[in-house]
Structure 1
């Protein structure tokens, strides 16, 4: 028996040594991801620690982390075998923020002012239940089947869909949630937040405060070739700036999200390695750079914090949305937007209706057209911080489809020709989840009236 126990102990020690050796350089990223994500799930989305660890953080190597929750301080601390301890702290109104070594959370920080006034209108324009409407064009039996097909069957955990919502002519015609989620559960959109950032810039453009063709965007660039980079280049991910968007290794994006105090500056200091407007390269650093650009349009930080909500998010009733900030107080516009599926759908409806929200034009119609126009060298796949189907990524969906896309299969699909907005939230993407078949099933359930 002693020999068996010694063998088991030796195997355990060797396993720890192997894992530590294999992942040591990534441990800051692993514990940073684990603590930040779990803090958001628990204190922002109001889900359990067990749910966070069995679902959101349950993939390699993140699941190596051991997490300790401090509910009094609203914090989560993660370690791997006692190494590389990282702590994330939840701040009301700003979400969870990851502490950086040597930097303590300040007790004084500004919080965005929100407008949560009740609106006596049915969804989506108010807070009342939507009016019951039956559309002759909708095959509800087929539609129900398409939603059921989007979720795992009993005993499976492959598609990992959490929510599906279908809106036709401003009416929710289908809605389904996985166990543990409902219409009131905020879900992280990951890179769908990039489209929100684009929307904020669209409002500034509507107000005449910015132009997509303007140059000399940052004082740090004024004496070199980067001064010629336009706002259009940044919105199209076509700036030519160096950037490595690799989530499987230590890269520009992982260092930014889990090691930087001020994420708005990570790409600011990157060199020009390509030709602007001819070097498409997907970059979360670009979006956070744009968040910094938005900050520069306001005299005070409070005005910057308020504007995202007062001019766009709360304006269209996305009251569940929280865009989390970095430790410097900048919105992490690349990645950290949380909202219920119904509120994510409202953002899609704003674009479906050419920037008009219940009679008020928040974005120029030309901005919506601009958003959905392919950028150079993207093969018809990308517009102004939105993904496009112009190149036929989804063969069985209309070419005019454009969408907000996020990590692990978060999607808001906008299909003008079909008057549809489709939301899917989950934990997996192709090939475990077939988006083309998903879209095709829903679209064919709705005939053009």
Structure 2
């Protein structure tokens, strides 16, 4: 057991102070509600980043996890078993709320929520696909290094300067650091810049958080291309049969406008954390939310929606996690040359399509390149024009969002003084803690930034300032 390096008496005083502060401030719901979210988040974060991404445990614990789950770290106990699992719980009587994240090779980490056993989750059948040997060809098909041939001295200087800015820190406070891990740029279908933080390398896959929603959309686009689903047809979830929800179409679900009630909260009071850290079958749980508006009319950002999409795609492919895993690996990731890419499943075996995609930064860049090329890849149509056009078009509910992909017009994610420098066809995969894949098809430009940002204002300015400068000079 790996306990926090404060004495139990001191921790007790800290816990009392935290409880008092929360009671006085009314902050983020109350600590009792927050602890299941915090213990679940911490267990999954430490499991995924150390066991799937092969990051350093102490760095992940103290620099990436503690600042996000405060004040939990004053009262938590952590059992860390390398390569096996992480258990996090509070020692506060009656509100221990333990959460365990287990690691399975080829699948990553999964929360074992109340009502589910570790043994049952581990017993689920699964066989990882054998990956072909890496190619030495140039990116995007191979694993050759970045090639900046043909760039001018001023363009090279710009890439270095913007990278220096992205990796810079303006403070020594752990709770305010940008923690950049990767910065990559593709231009005209070629990898021209690739840089990682100290102690990181290309072969470490990184958690995309909500960038996974865009990956889920691309899988849906591939299924639509193959005729396995129709974007204009009802989703067809069996549990919606005979209800008003039965009319919800794939387009409405992918536009974040299915009409379902959802609170995208990140404390104990939010649907998102309840789903991610306390539900075994996340898609089914999200699908049970009541209908509160006419489908297609109201944009309501929801991590539950892509989990519903994943659940239904699994059903359409035969019902097993293995079939869905095989499909997205063989139909989408492998043709792109993507290695080590997975979407971690929930305890029922369904991939968590709203949050748990883990790919190398160079592979997130490949997904962006596919979008930039309109679904075409090396002479193949991976996603047809009809599906891709839908994913990138503004929805009837909001011009800011397409099919699980953000769009430039009126985007609140881009600093106001930079938005006029960002081309109107720009689209984005965006994720929690500063995950960005920014795609400018008219400039054949794709930019990826990944990390664990605790200073999102600075990180957004770094990323979109970089995009604006590259658009001007490339």
Indicate whether the TM-score tops 0.5.
yes
Cα distance, 1:169–1:241 mapped onto 2, change above 3 Å: same
Q: Bigger CA drift: 390-399 or 416-425? A: 390-399
Partner SS state of residue 315, structure 1: helix
* Structure with the largest fraction of helix: 2
Which residue in the other structure is 2:206 paired with?
Answer: 187
Shift of 1:366: 2.6
Q: Does 1:411 align with 2:436?
A: yes
The equivalent position to 1:330 in structure 2, one of 350, 370, 373, is 350
Q: What are the Cα deviations for residues 24-60 of structure 1, in whole angstroms up to 9, with x where unaligned?
A: 2322221111111111111111122101112220222
Q: What SS does the corresponding residue of 2:132 show, helix, strand or coil?
A: coil
Q: Which runs of 5+ in 2 are unaligned?
A: 1-6, 21-29
Picking from 94, 101, 107, the partner of 2:107 is 94
Structure 1 CA distance, aligned partners of 2:8 and 2:109? 38
The answer to whether the aligner puts 1:274 opposite 2:293 as a matched pair is yes
Aligned partner of 1:303 among 323, 340, 355:
323
Which structure 2 residues correspond to residues 289-300 of structure 1 after superposition, within 5 A?
A: 289-300=308-319
From the superposition, tell whether residues 183 and 10 of structure 1 become closer, same or farther in structure 2 (CA, over 3 Å). closer
Tell me the alpha carbon deviations over residues 174-202 of structure 1, each in whole angstroms, 9 at most, x when there is no partner. Answer: 22222232222211100100111111111
Partner of 1:372: 392
2:62 is aligned with 1:42: no
Unaligned runs of 5+ in 1: 1-7
Q: Distance in 1 between matches of 2:352 and 2:123?
A: 19
CA root-mean-square deviation: 2.4
Return the offset for 1:14. Answer: 4.3
Q: Quote how far apart the aligned CAs of 1:390 are.
A: 2.0
Q: Name the CA distance, whole Å, in 1 between partners of 2:454 and 2:8.
A: 38
Shift of 1:138: 6.5
* Aligned equivalents of 2:10, 2:72: Cα separation in 1: 22
In structure 1, what is the Cα distance between the partners aligned to 2:87 and 2:310? 28
Partner Cα separation in structure 2 for residue 432 and residue 445 of structure 1: 20
For 1:97 and 1:9, locate their aligned partners in 2 and report how far apart those are by CA, in whole Å: 30
333-342 or 389-398, which deviates more? 389-398
Whether 1:284 aligns to 2:303 is yes
2:192 counterpart of 1:196: no
Q: Choose the corresponding residue for 2:284, options 265, 270, 280.
A: 265
Deviation at 1:319, TM superposition (A): 0.8
After TM superposition, the structure 1 stretch with the greater mean CA deviation from structure 2, 298-307 or 254-263, is 298-307
Structure 2 residue aligned with 1:109: 124
TM-score, normalised with respect to structure 1 = 0.91
Per-residue deviation, 1:85: 2.5
What is the DSSP-based 3-state SS (H/G/I as helix, E as strand, rest coil) of the residue aligned with 2:62? helix
Match of 1:27 among 18, 32, 35: 35
Q: List per-residue Cα deviations over 1:334-375 (Å, max 9, x = no partner).
A: 101111111110110111111111111100123222111111
Q: How many angstroms apart in 1 are the aligned matches of 2:284 and 2:180?
A: 35
